[in-house]
Amino acid sequence: MAKEWNDMTPAEKRANLCDRWLNPPGAKFESPQAEKDYKGRVQRLLDAFNKKKPDRVPCFPMQGFFAAYYCGYTPYDVMYDYSKADEAFTRMVVETSPDAHSSILGAPPGPVYDLLDYKLYSWPGHGVPKNVSYQAREGEYMKASEYDSLIADPTNFFLTTWLPRIMGKAEALSSLTPFTNMTEMYGSFTAASFVPFGVPPVQEALKTFMKAGEEALKWIGFVAGYGAKMTAKGFPGFFGGGCKAPFDTVGDTLRGTKGMMFDMFRCPDKLVRACEQFVPIMIKMGVDGARQNGCPVVFLPLHKGADGFMNDQQFRKYYWPTLLAVMEGLIKEGCIPFPWAEGGYDSRLDVIKDSPDEIFWGFDKIDFHNAKKLVGNKHAIGGAIPISVLNVGTKDDVIAEVKKEIDIFGKDGGYIMMTSATMEETPGDNVKTMINTCKQFGVYK
């Protein structure tokens, strides 16, 4: 009998996830060639993750709304018409032929956020023009005085304080009592906890949640359908799951950049404690996704630890310990953490070079030689075709950049070619040039 997940060793968990990625259960390939392509692509990626030399350098440009622009749609179109998202992302992958796809998750379902009166972001047609991407609306959604509540019970804090602030339709949830009250039959324990559910505003909020749920279900049908279709066509999904550095969760989502920076001076201990509280939460988030999708890669977009955002000492104190703990936890669960170091990271190389070698480091702006020497000698690395070159450069500029990065990063394997930032209105021809040049010149002899 197959071992239960919790009884497996980290190596067995990793083997399980990799095997499900390489041989997806229930996959129906369009043709023997598609199956060969699919497995060839996953193997190429796995070889790179394992610091081996694949047959050639794998190429996976990072996507934002590129597929929409590529097909003449706006971001609004693909956020509000899931069939257009499906069509655009399919056509883009088939025509550009990268080594993996990134699902259609980059086009979140607009109607769900409309229903919820979501305030954390502006999105096409809702605060920003229909032809541009969704963008974060930073704010102090948690006050500095609320650290103790967050630390005491993050889930309850999210449910009764944070959600009511970031979703207009969730305001009434502020009257809920902690679910952990429901421990006894005695009246003030469980029955009293149900009282808020009887009042009309909470009932309205729940009805809205149900509507949002129905819409999300409709959307996830397209997501699943897209994934199955791309597998059938021979393209694996790159991402198993995703989660964030605890410091970014506090900084991006709860306190805002400014608030978080003040906290580093005014209440550093609470900031650190809150980050620690998010470690198991983030591990679970990443692992759940990887297990559900049968792919070991867990994406961690890194934001507030970039060069300039704090000094070395602050990075080592506030940012790194809990990020490292999350990645170690993911590795124990068989995952391949993929921290994507957005922005400059030259000043962090000395710290991150000693992280566990299962980690796949993605870079944006970086000294190529130093990154390869310090991090790439132990870790697989990804990056870093500058989005500026892809967006405004000529064909020759793109070819030169791709060749340069193959020479430096690609040497001896362990490298996946990526873009430095997500592609949006990038010219399709430049993207094709990037991928084709990588295929032509990235072959390992």
Partner 1 sequence: MAKDLAKALGDLQEDEAIAITQEKLDANEDAMAILAEAGKGMDTVGIRFSKGEYFIPDLVYSGEILRRINELVKPKLTAGTSQKKEGKVIIATVAGDIHDIGKDILVFMLDVAGFEVFDMGVDVPIQQIVDKVKETGATVLGLSGFLTLAYDAMKETIEALKAAGLRDKLKIMIGGGQITPDIVKYTGADTFGKTAIEGVDLAKKWLRK
Q: What is the spatial distance between Cα 255 and Cα 145, in angstroms, rounded to a whole number?
A: 11
Q: Is 135 in the site for partner 1 (CB under 8 A)?
A: yes
Of 175, 314, 370, 436, which lies in the binding site for partner 1, with binding defined by CB under 8 A? 314
Judged by CB under 8 A, the chain residues 190 through 229 that form the site for partner 1 are none
Of 276, 356, 425, 428, which lies in the binding site for partner 1, with binding defined by CB under 8 A? 425
The smaller minimum CB distance to partner 1, of residues 64 and 414, is found at 64
Q: Is 426 in the site for partner 1 (CB under 8 A)?
A: yes
Q: How far is the CB of 264 from partner 1 (least distance, A)?
A: 6
Find, among 234, 254, 209, the residue nearest to 29 by Cα.
234
For partner 1, what does the binding mask look like between residues 137 and 166, x meaning CB under 8 A?
A: xx----------------------------
Q: Is 392 in the site for partner 1 (CB under 8 A)?
A: yes
| Alpha-carbon torsion angle 358, 360, 365, 369, nearest 10 | 60
Q: Which residues contact 100 (CB under 8 A, 6 or more apart)?
A: 41, 45, 58, 60, 235, 236, 237, 238
On the question of a cis peptide bond just before residue 11, with omega within 30 degrees of 0, the verdict is: no
Judged by CB under 8 A, the chain residues 272 through 311 that form the site for partner 1 are 308-311
Q: How far is the CB of 385 from partner 1 (least distance, A)?
A: 12
Q: Is 389 in the site for partner 1 (CB under 8 A)?
A: yes
Kindly state the helix (H) or strand (E) to which residue 324 belongs, with its residue range. helix 320-332
Q: Is 177 in the site for partner 1 (CB under 8 A)?
A: no
Are 120 and 239 a contacting pair, CB within 8 Å?
Answer: no
Find, among 99, 171, 178, the residue nearest to 382 by Cα.
99
The pair of three-digit structure tokens given for residue 364, joined into one six-digit string: 């944006």
Q: Which residues contact 231 (CB under 8 A, 6 or more apart)?
A: 24, 27, 29, 38, 237
Of 22, 128, 159, 206, which lies in the binding site for partner 1, with binding defined by CB under 8 A? 128
Q: How far is the CB of 397 from partner 1 (least distance, A)?
A: 8
Of 50, 97, 131, 370, which lies in the binding site for partner 1, with binding defined by CB under 8 A? 131
> Which residues are registered as beta bridge partners of 101?
237
Q: Is 72 in the site for partner 1 (CB under 8 A)?
A: no
Q: How far is the CB of 443 from partner 1 (least distance, A)?
A: 28
The smaller minimum CB distance to partner 1, of residues 114 and 425, is found at 425
Find, among 442, 347, 345, 360, the residue nearest to 401 by Cα.
442
Label the pairing between strands 241-242 and 336-344: unpaired
Q: What is the spatial distance between Cα 37 and Cα 50, in angstroms, rounded to a whole number?
A: 20
Q: Is 27 in the site for partner 1 (CB under 8 A)?
A: no
Stretch that binds partner 1, among 12-20, 142-150, 236-244, 263-271 (CB under 8 A): 263-271
Q: What is the spatial distance between Cα 435 and Cα 442, in angstroms, rounded to a whole number?
A: 10
Q: How far is the CB of 391 from partner 1 (least distance, A)?
A: 6
Q: How far is the CB of 43 from partner 1 (least distance, A)?
A: 32
Are 41 and 435 a contacting pair, CB within 8 Å?
Answer: no
Give the position of tokens 């979140």. 108
Q: Is 33 in the site for partner 1 (CB under 8 A)?
A: no
Q: Is 387 in the site for partner 1 (CB under 8 A)?
A: yes
Of 266, 369, 373, 411, which lies in the binding site for partner 1, with binding defined by CB under 8 A? 266
Give the binding-site size for partner 1 (rule: CB under 8 A). 37
The smaller minimum CB distance to partner 1, of residues 22 and 351, is found at 351
The smaller minimum CB distance to partner 1, of residues 208 and 253, is found at 253
Residue 253 DSSP label:
I
The smaller minimum CB distance to partner 1, of residues 6 and 313, is found at 313
For partner 1, what does the binding mask look like between residues 327 and 366, x meaning CB under 8 A?
A: ---------------xx-----------------------
Residue 344 DSSP label:
E
Q: Which residues contact 32 (CB under 8 A, 6 or more apart)?
A: none
Stretch that binds partner 1, among 134-142, 148-156, 173-181, 376-384 (CB under 8 A): 134-142
The smaller minimum CB distance to partner 1, of residues 57 and 310, is found at 310
Q: What is the DSSP string of 379-415?
A: SEEEEEE-HHHHHH--HHHHHHHHHHHHHHTSTTS-E
Q: CA separation (Å) from 341 to 329, 366, 390, 395?
A: 19, 9, 19, 27
Q: Is 91 in the site for partner 1 (CB under 8 A)?
A: no
The smaller minimum CB distance to partner 1, of residues 126 and 211, is found at 126
Binding site for partner 1 (CB under 8 A): 122, 127-129, 131-133, 135, 137-138, 257-258, 261-262, 264-266, 308-311, 314, 342-343, 386-389, 391-393, 420-421, 423-426
